[in-house]
Amino acid sequence: MNDQWTERLSEYLDGDLAESDRAALEAHLDTCAACGETLAGLRRIVVRARSLEDRVPSRELWSGVAARIGAGPRRRRLTFSVPQLLAAGIALAVVSGGSAWLLHPDAARMAALRPDPASQVVIPVAATGSTAGAARSYASAVDDLERVLAEGRSRLDSTTVRVLEQNLTLIDRAIAQAQRAVAADSANLYLNTHLAETMRRKIDLLRQAAALVSAVS
Amino acid sequence: MLLLLALLQQIDSTVPVQRGQRLEVSSFAGEIAVKTWNRNAVRVEAEPGGRTSVEIDRSATSLTVKTEGRRGPPSMVDLVITAPSWMALDLSGVNTDMSVTGMRGPISVETVQGEVEVEGGQGLVSLQSVQGSVSLTGAKGSLEVHSVNEDVRVSASSGEVTAETVNGDITLTRVDGSSVTASSVNGDLDYDGAIRNGGRYAFSTHNGSITVTVPPGSNAAVSVSTFNGEFASEFPVTLTETRKGKRFSFTIGTGSAQMTLESFQGSIELVRPRSYRGARDRDHDRDPDHDEH
């Protein structure tokens, strides 16, 4: 794999390359199957993100979350590696219709202002250096949703709580395995996107659990 | 307009409905079974239970049926609903099994501890259970089936299919869709359906195997990724490897469809349809020199 060009594929996708670089990269793509596949993978991520359905949480759920987490939610210290930041950035973009909105105090009003998902591009989130913030937001969203589940677990059926927690454990195990794999092979796009997708699954399940808590409150 | 508020002894009530009205049914525990007839009316039958009432509320746009507990949550109630097939359907419950037969409109089903079994549905069909398996057959449209802790099955259905579970298998049989996505964390994926020209097929699992039945004459550009799994194909394919043994791609026919197969630590296998394999084996029995195509 040609690292020089691999690193610039997202710029190419965004149309940010200078004309001469673009031509050189396209010539390289004609002969490099690895870069061609990586580019195809990046394109799939963008397509997947663009096809995401918006899911706007109810204001009622936010009021419950706000009451529980107070004014200053605890922030977890992050020690993500660069590839994990990429993954977290993708994950955050993937779940932006959920976690970030779920935790915003004025989600309903902002929903009307939210840009068309078709105009959102995932890769630049990682490429512009904002992934550290994205990773913090992801971890913060997980923290907050886990807190909602922890505080509402007594209101849920014990079997339901057990099933939710078992499945969260399964996902955590998968995330840990994917993180180790990414650490060993950081340039592997599949592993990075798999990690991001698995992180997205955790947010989805936590959000589902929070919705169950809200429904019985 | 509230039509009925009755302590549950034996409910058997029929309410006229008009085209365009939606049927919404919610029950905390028990079963909701929906079937169809050719009358523009909804019949609600309920088995005797505890101190639980069944409310039927009709508005210009919907007919709502729900169970209510007089003190605390409602007790277990089995609701049998008979409705015209054109009605859009919205079922919700907690400890509730759901079954639907013969509806021809959009269907939404959500339960927490319960099995979901739907036959029919057109347009947006969205089925979800946390602790129960979800099964859909004979549906057309945008089909979304989700479980958390059990299996998901879709059969004899067409349209855009999204199937997802965390801890369960996904089986897609006789599915004819231009866009099919299936994803599990801890389960196997089995796809036996059409591969349409121009279609998009994405199957991924973390800890399970993927088996895709490829009909003869299919055209697909296939991308395979794994971290610690293996790949096998019943028929010859020419691999272009980007990472030895981990990521590769190949083309079947013209490569018109796009297929992505990803298993972190499970096997990925392409097979021929059983009927094709049977015919081929018979041919081989007759002609031992016959080559695979």
How many whole angstroms separate alpha carbon B76 and alpha carbon B79?
10
Residue B18 or residue A96, greater confidence? B18
- A1-51 — its CATH code? 1.10.10
CA distance B293 to chain A (A): 26
Residue A107 or residue B107, greater confidence? B107
B280, pLDDT greater than 50:
yes
CB pairs < 8 Å spanning A and B = 85
Q: Do B264 and A178 touch (CB under 8 A)?
A: yes
Q: In chain B, which residue's Cα lies nearest the Cα of A185?
A: B227
B286, pLDDT greater than 90:
no
Query: Which residue, among B255, B266, B154, has the nearest Cα to B204 in the 3D structure?
Result: B266
Task: Print pLDDT tens along chain A (217 aa).
Answer: 445 777 677 777 767 788 888 888 888 888 877 777 777 766 666 555 544 444 444 434 434 444 444 434 444 434 444 455 555 555 555 454 443 334 333 333 333 333 333 333 333 333 334 456 667 777 888 888 888 888 888 889 899 999 999 999 999 999 999 989 988 888 788 888 898 889 889 988 998 898 888 877 6
CA distance A164 to chain B (A): 8
CA distance A204 to chain B (A): 10
Q: Which of A37, A45, A199, A213 to substitute to test the interface with B, most B CBs within 10 Å? A: A37
B273, pLDDT greater than 70:
yes
Sketch the domain layout of chain A as residue ranges.
Answer: 1-51, 55-216
Q: Which of B203, B227, B248, B262 to substitute to test the interface with A, most A CBs within 10 Å? A: B227
CA distance A6 to chain B (A): 13
Residue B163 or residue B54, greater confidence? B163
Q: Do A190 and B225 touch (CB under 8 A)?
A: yes
Q: Considering only A34-38, B113-117, B176-180, which range has the smallest mean pLDDT?
A: A34-38
- Cα four-point dihedral sign B11, A156, A69, B147: negative
pLDDT confidence bin for B116, thresholds 50/70/90: very high
Whether residue B131 lies within 8 A of chain A, CB to CB, comes out as yes
Structure tokens that stand for A141 in this block = 């969203």
B175, pLDDT greater than 90:
yes
Task: Write the pLDDT tens digit of every residue in B30-86.
Answer: 999 999 999 999 999 997 566 788 899 999 999 999 998 877 777 889 999 999 999
ipTM of the complex: 0.85
| A170 contact residues in B (CB cutoff 8 A) | 166-167, 185-186
Q: Do A178 and B167 touch (CB under 8 A)?
A: no
Q: Which residues are CB-contacts of A195 (< 8 A; sequence separation ≥ 6)? A: A84, A87, A91, A175, A178, A179, A181, A182
Can you give the pLDDT at residue B99? 98
Can you give the pLDDT at residue A55? 43
Q: Do B131 and A40 touch (CB under 8 A)?
A: no
Structure tokens that stand for B283 in this block = 């041919």
Can you give the pLDDT at residue A138? 79
CA distance B284 to chain A (A): 37
Can you give the pLDDT at residue B263? 96
Using CB atoms, pick whichever of A157, A170, A178 lies closest to residue B186: A170
Residue A104 or residue B185, greater confidence? B185
Using CB atoms, pick whichever of B130, B185, B260 lies closest to residue A170: B185
Torsion of CA A23, A28, A34, A38, to 10 degrees: -10
pLDDT confidence bin for B284, thresholds 50/70/90: low
CA distance A71 to chain B (A): 32
Using CB atoms, pick whichever of B206, B207, B223 lies closest to residue A37: B223
